[in-house]
Chains A and B, each alone.
Chain A
């Protein structure tokens, strides 16, 4: 009986959506306006957002047109004031009933197209344009009336800085490109649109500065973008994963940011930016490993301070990966390394802990990841409360109940805090922290060194769009080092990084 019901349901849905199965090429525009409107209704059948309105000229009631648009995606003011109003009140004769006259002399729209192509029409109306159908006319006017609601420009939550610009990208592609264009006022800035995604047909903008861009990278990027074949693109990560490169890598191959100032900085160094409609995150390529440790804020504060911050981030990355395994290596293999008072201290702590240190470390790291994940998933206030519960209650209680050694909690704490310094490297941190820990538990410090070597080799082998993520020592130039581990003052940074662009001069030598 159950099965019968299921079958019946399926049949019903099938009959309802059957009309949609016809592809666009089955439809043809005709000269008769009523037929065109009927066809339009059929194409967008079951989508109640479609609005179709008949507009009649007041001086000549025989003279009329239909406009079709999607509710909510258009700016109603533009439709009322610039399409309906002029069409209604203008003095039109029968002679005027031709598309050129209407588009040139009647309606006030900044951007319009005449088209017979149904594909373009559908794409236009779906992205917020208004279609105008005229009597006895095979062509249709596609009028730009885009005006949907989007989030206001605000500071990105994930990339807050103390000083510097506070604007962040929004979900609207056009707003995002404008934010970039406002910062680079030159004809050298190029913005190229593409549609990617068979179903979503998402707009993707490739953005670069022609005079400084690395053409090899640009060509490679365009080739890879054109090669994408997927039904939907909802966020930058779809693209990053699809065109990042061959093979598996725990490291990012494209830099993503929500900050227009960061993107502009990257463009000026010769990189290419990819903006995706519907995502506030913009990716730039090629991505160098050192960028994981750089923050836009570095350029807005004192150079010395920025340099120290960068070095701390780099140290923090290795601390968060190495501390747990280092602790185990010393604790369980190389006791001679510990100073005597500390040795006795740890021995006293460990005396009461039931699990061996290695296993305990695994469990505690897992619990830490658990708390971290829960903290992120929980909405605002609950997340804070949860982390307090996790850190204080569980940590303290575990030590007092003598389930975990206090030194272990300290190690986990250091690991966790250092890990927050480099959120962009999260996946590699997680992978290598456990990998090195595993090796260390097996064979001690030797395993630690083996694991660390694998990490370093992996980092050195990373590539992004044909550019090595870590430069080879033999190809490095003194100019390139000025903005790596440290940041020199702007007076000293004369050239752009040579491996990214051919046009190196950034500023005049003595300027």
Chain B
């Protein structure tokens, strides 16, 4: 199947399915795509974009808090005008429909009563919310009945004293972080409190928090929007890549704050490895199953007290340091039974002994394979950190370099670009090793390994130049070399990523672990 058609076939197949959330999101996306001006999408990245529409391309857009607010306001205003309902009600309805305007309008036109009920809006028309004093009122929550007690009720008429209402709302907002779906305090009443009533009841600091929480639900409710996970960053990123696409694409997005992350799993950029493999890899590295693997490959247990023993040389006559049990390392049998053939265990060729040896050998091979990839992965991770440290030091040196060589600030920026390149390339390299660990050999893996090797060599060369003392850096020849190498590294990285991404999109990789999507079977790619 042509990869271009892939997305299209996906979209059309959605229509066969029951109208569920994903369906709506797709229509949202389409709508968005057509309504906005064509250049609204910033091209994702140099390396995957080039403006061409290819299978592994995906676009994304970064929104700042004001953009997000405006989008919500626009939608609310639109629904407010089309359906002739108040803005508060429009907002509640939109939240109920997870901001799917089309479905809201359609459903509302068909059966307004049911929609309002379901969203927690009862139909009776009433004036603006107000606090009242009603003679003979007893608050059902605190049981106070003193005359002059101020009370409040939503349209449902469940009336409670203002103090209880406040207490209830502040607990919901402050402790439970609830905003869009706070119901009337009455048992069984599903009416949702609207923003205007809330503003009337609670103090300013709480309304601020409330609006912040509301603001958040907009992003959290939409599958195409995600918060940038960088600390203190308030931007959100829009990307149309769905969960089910994640076996085909690694959607790395970069926020305006500079943070690059995967839209699929919110982790730091992990191209070229797909999210699922990343998850597996991280779990594998975090698990102490590998420790166990090592233990099983390198140690045996004392047959008597089960202490773990690593044989560090010497003969097969073992004496457990803990329990003083004497046994043969080969057959694990009692040493005393060996009679006189001390250094030649005659039970060695027994079946059980051979099985035990095979198991140990297999364990050792798989451990070595894992360690091969893990060491390289960890090495790049560490090197990226060290490169960063060096850069911080170099930053100071850049100032020094300006003074000594008479270069301008702009002219020493090549060091900055070199450092950036080193870090992104190492990040990529790091994940190529995790990716390679799960890759089953076929003729594509060779190309992949060549690309990996090229990038690695370029990165190491650049890294070496980067670490040179400041006096050498002032040499214009080295400067040109560094700049060239930087460009080369970036180019090699793009080549590697394009190659892996394309094969991923076309389902050409085979993996040695279960991988969702047809890729694991190695057969021709048909989705679903």
Say if A and B assemble together.
no
- A residues contacting B by CB (< 8 A) are none
